[in-house]
Structure 1
Amino acid sequence: MKEIWAQWDDEVKRLFYCHYGDLPYLLDVKIDESLFRALVQYWNSAYSCFTFERVDLVPTIEEYTTLIRCTKIQVDRIYSKAANNLAFSKKLMNITGMSEQWVTARIKQKGDCRCIPWRHLRDLILAHPDMKKRVDVLALSIYGLVIFPKALGHIDEAVFDLFDRLSKETTPVPVILAETFRSLNACRRVGEGRFIGCAQLLLSWFHSHFLRVEKVSYHVFSKNYSPLKELAATPRRDDITEEN
């Protein structure tokens, strides 16, 4: 995804930012595994927050919305799955603009869920004649592989439902937070386990509490300021152990 993003010109990137915010910067966030494992140990499942001695800290809707920074999001329109919605294949057709035959041939079953392999979407991004569809499919891929990484190398059916509703300017932030809390609770309960949530966004949120914008104190109030961009570009030490 990073290679595809790097090949796009500024006009296409602006189109992406306009519709989906600062999601591409998540691709540049390096996962510090030692820090992440240590952070999980401070998750308080009883109160759904991080507890550092006497200090409680938890990601909020406002903080995650600021990090994603998407002007299309309406914070009072929260995503919820519709009782009667389109079939998976129909949603995939709407998002990709491809035929039913193309979609049906690429849907796979992974465990208890249906999904589509990333390699098919990658090929579609590289070859699709409609640039807006290329943008949509890359955004879908970031949601499926980075924000909700359930099936490795695949985009889960549930992500398509959420993504389909983003066109109606609903906010995905509460769902992202809910999955983050659920995953943290699961990791704490079993002691070890895979975190099925957006680790990049969680670590960015954690680092944001220590971020200092040098020289220009009012920088954070600028419309063009991207905290996620600055966090992704900030050098981090990678030689610190989990214990330290």
Structure 2
Amino acid sequence: MEREFFGKVEDNAANSLQELKEICDQWENKIKQLFYSNYGDLPYLLNVKVDKRLFRALVQYWNLAYNCFIFGKVDLVPTVEEYTTLLRCRRIQVDKAYLRVVNFLTFLKKLMSITGMNEQWVAAQIKQKGDSKYITWKNLRDLILAHLDVKKKVDIFTFSIYGLVISPRH
């Protein structure tokens, strides 16, 4: 049962990532340049070949409360260099800071800011699963394809990468 569930999740994520790649490939150079200038090396994550067995093994040792790996009595927090080695992603520039900006706005306000859509539209798209709130890939994809504001299109695309690659939960 668990194997079937994880297989379905992986298939859905793979399909969504493939759609992200296809969208990016269709963009004209002007949009790609905006993307790279605003978000640096993030697009390279779309092409990283992930060793699923390695990540399944690492997940067993990840401590969500402390955001680190725990091996026996040893806590381990990998450096950016170690992550790039694990991911076999040589193009990430280690001289750039990758961090999460602390922002006290609600998820609704964040989505309004990222998408450029009004509160009613965003509120209608937000779903909840357990303690987490999210917006579906389908809604984000449709916005990327239809949004008239190129900067917002790039921002939504980037938000999708973060949701599908960096912190997938649903």
Gaps (5+ residues) in structure 2? 1-19, 62-68, 85-89
Alignment of 1:1-244 (within 5 A): 1-37=20-56, 44-49=71-76, 59-61=78-80, 68-69=92-93, 75=97, 79=100, 81-82=102-103, 85-151=104-170
Is the alpha carbon distance of 1:18 and 1:69 closer, same or farther for their aligned partners in structure 2, counting shifts above 3 Å? Answer: farther
TM-score normalized with structure 2 length: 0.67
For residues 199-242 of structure 1, what are the alpha-carbon distances to aligned partners after superposition, in whole Å with 9 as ceiling and x for unaligned?
xxxxxxxxxxxxxxxxxxxxxxxxxxxxxxxxxxxxxxxxxxxx
Cα 1:91–1:46 change in 2 (3 A) is: same
Secondary structure of the corresponding residue to residue 109 of structure 1: strand
Encode CA deviations 1:38-85: one digit per residue, 9 max, x unaligned. 667897253234xxxxxxxx63146659854398x6x4x964635xx2
- Aligned residue for 2:50, secondary structure, equals coil
Structure 1 CA distance for aligned equivalents of residues 60 and 125 of structure 2: 40
8 Å contact from structure 2 (residues 140, 160) kept in 1: yes
- Number of residue pairs matched by the alignment: 138
Residue type matched to 1:81 in 2? Answer: V
In the TM superposition, what is the alpha-carbon distance from 1:121 to its structure 2 partner?
0.7
Aligned residue identity for 1:97: G
1:129 aligned counterpart, secondary structure: coil
CA contact (8 A) 2:108 2:119 kept: yes
1:132 deviation in Å?
Answer: 0.6
TM-score with structure 1 setting the length: 0.49
The letter for the 2-side match of 1:46 is K
Q: Rate the CA distance shift 1:11–1:98 in 2: closer, same or farther, 3 A.
A: same
Per chain length, whose mean CA-contact separation is higher, i.e. which structure has more relative contact order (CA < 8 Å, sep 6+)?
1
SS in 2 for 1:124: helix
Going from structure 1 to structure 2, the CA distance change for 1:36 and 1:8 (only over 3 Å counts) comes to same
Q: Percent identity?
A: 58
Q: Counterpart of 1:126 in structure 2: which amino acid? A: L
> Per the alignment, in what secondary structure is the counterpart of residue 146 of structure 1?
helix
Gaps of 5+ in 1: 50-57, 152-244
CA root-mean-square deviation: 3.0
- Does the 8 Å contact 1:118/1:141 carry over to 2? yes
Query: In the superposition, relative to structure 1, how do residues 143 and 41 fare at CA in structure 2: closer, same or farther (>3 Å)?
Result: closer
- Structure with the higher fraction of residues in helix conformation: 2
SS of the equivalent of 1:149 reads coil
